[in-house]
Structure 1
Amino acid sequence: MAPVSLGVLASGRGSNLQSIIDACRRGDIKAEVKVVISDRQDAYALKRAEKHGIDAYYINIKDYQDKAAYETKIVELLRRYNVQLVCLAGYMRLVGPTVLNAFPWRIMNIHPSLLPSFPGLHAQKQALDCGVKVSGCTVHFVDEGMDSGPIILQACVPVYDDDTEDSLAERILEQEHKIYPRAVGLFAEGKLIVRGKKVFIREAGND
């Protein structure tokens, strides 16, 4: 079976992109990153892609008349590379209907909290401000809301009394790099089933 073709949207350093590339190259998951697209010209994710011989594109939203036109360009690129699954890796824009309709339940995101708690920006600060004892990260399918799509995998991380945003973020990131490739691998194996707001993981031999 041919590897699943991945397209990655990123706005920053792309450490989760790197974890997915590494998992693909090791053969841990039956997938291959075909294209990386960023809305920021200086995103290090673009350099990571180029380093690994992956086609990388910067698309400036200001070059388009509106968000729909900007997203139409993204969809055009993703389709050019026959992308089957879109992965958001630190992509700092809310995905709109143009992309969502082109890839229904084929867009994944990772968020640094145990959703549905602490969606949106500064999730680690939200967790610390609320005094929770456990935080973590969540891989989910993307819908029209803010970090509100069906949850695929989660990992827990303890919150310590002396934690800062940076120290908590660092421990959470370690888990992100584990569960994001795992979720992509489950998709590649056809094991993810979305029913309403829930994702079911199909075990071998079960339909």
Structure 2
Amino acid sequence: MPLVCPVPIPFSRPIRLGVLISGGGTTLANFVEQIAAGSLSAEIALVIASRGDCVGVGRARQAGLRCEVVERKSFAGAAEFSQAVFALCREARVDLVTLAGFLSLIEIPGDFQYRVMNIHPALIPAFCGPGFYGHKVHEAVLARGARVSGCTIHFADNDYDHGPIITQVAVDVHDDDTADTLAARVFAAECRAYPEAIRLYAEGRLEIQGNRVSRSGFPA
């Protein structure tokens, strides 16, 4: 398979992010904090919410970010919905789209291939796919008796929780865990892993061959 380098030359400016949300916007808030602290060289060019009533809309606007609501129910199908989402991303000159608890399936156009990342609160391929989101993931992990969970950051494609994996962070499952306590530890791992994946992308250090992602030619 051919080797693909999504960013052949590192960005010489802060990378422009599009952040897609459907819920509380906690990942968005983490990005804002990381950027303010100087640990992530990025700017949030656009926030898109798939629900007008989600808490993340208020968070985005309170932070002074451009936030557009594109509700899935307003469109006949995924194709039309996706066209509206990516038209806004193009207009805002977004370099990288980051799915941050975005629950609607989108179809990724050719000019955004390997320019869309997703985070999932488990170790893909376990506990992923349709119906596995938010606390449902952590409840399933506990119900199965798994001893390890974690988070996965991957390039998104047109299937749920699919596409080449960039990085994974494992989190131990404790005997006395609830979905809430496990979620808190997994989210702490997400707060480190997602910005790091964005940094690697912006530095041009990610190479893709099939389903395998390497960092500057070395296994990630």
TM-score after normalising by structure 1: 0.92
The answer as to 2:162 corresponding to 1:148 is: yes
| Secondary structure of 1:74 counterpart | helix
Compute the RMSD of aligned alpha carbons: 1.6
Question: 2: CA distance between counterparts of 1:33 and 1:149?
Answer: 24
Q: Which residue of 1 aligns with 2:5?
A: none
* Aligned residues with identical type, % of pairs: 39
Q: Offset of 1:203 from its aligned partner?
A: 7.2
Matching of residue 41 in structure 1 with residue 52 in structure 2? yes
Structure 2 distance, partners of 1:109, 1:63, is 23
**2:15 touches 2:95 (CA, 8 Å); kept in 1?**
yes
Q: Is contact 2:79-2:106 (8 Å) kept?
A: no
Q: Per-residue deviation at 1:11?
A: 0.1
Would you say 1:95 and 2:106 are equivalent positions?
A: yes
Which is further off, 27-36 or 85-94?
27-36
* Count of aligned residue pairs for this structure pair: 202
Residue 187 of structure 1 is matched in structure 2 by 201
The answer for unaligned runs of 5 or more in structure 1 is: none
Which one-letter code corresponds to 2:154 in the other structure? H
Task: Return the alpha-carbon distance in structure 2 between the equivalents of residues 10 and 196 of structure 1.
Answer: 28
Is residue 15 from structure 1 mapped to residue 26 from structure 2 by the alignment?
A: yes
| 1:74 counterpart (78, 82, 85) | 85
Runs of 4+ in 1 over 3 A off after TM superposition: none
Q: Equivalent residue for 2:115?
A: 106
* Native 8 Å contact 1:5 1:84 kept in 2: yes
Q: Deviations over 1:125-160 (max 9, x none)?
A: 221122111111111110122212111111111111
SS of residue matched to 2:76: coil
Per the alignment, in what secondary structure is the counterpart of residue 138 of structure 2?
Answer: helix
Unmatched 5+ stretches in structure 2: 1-11
**What secondary structure does 1:156 align onto?**
strand
Question: Could you say what secondary structure the match of 2:161 adopts?
Answer: coil
Higher relative contact order (CA 8 A, sep 6+): 2
Tell me the distance in 2 between the aligned counterparts of 1:63 and 1:163. Answer: 39
The aligned counterpart of 2:13 is 2
Q: State the distance in 2 between where 1:86 and 1:148 align.
A: 16
For 1:137, the equivalent position in structure 2 comes to 151
Partner AA of 1:18 in structure 2 = A
Q: Give me the whole-angstrom Cα distance separating, in 2, the residues matched to 1:33 and 1:54.
A: 7
> How far apart in 2 are the matches of 1:146 and 1:69?
18
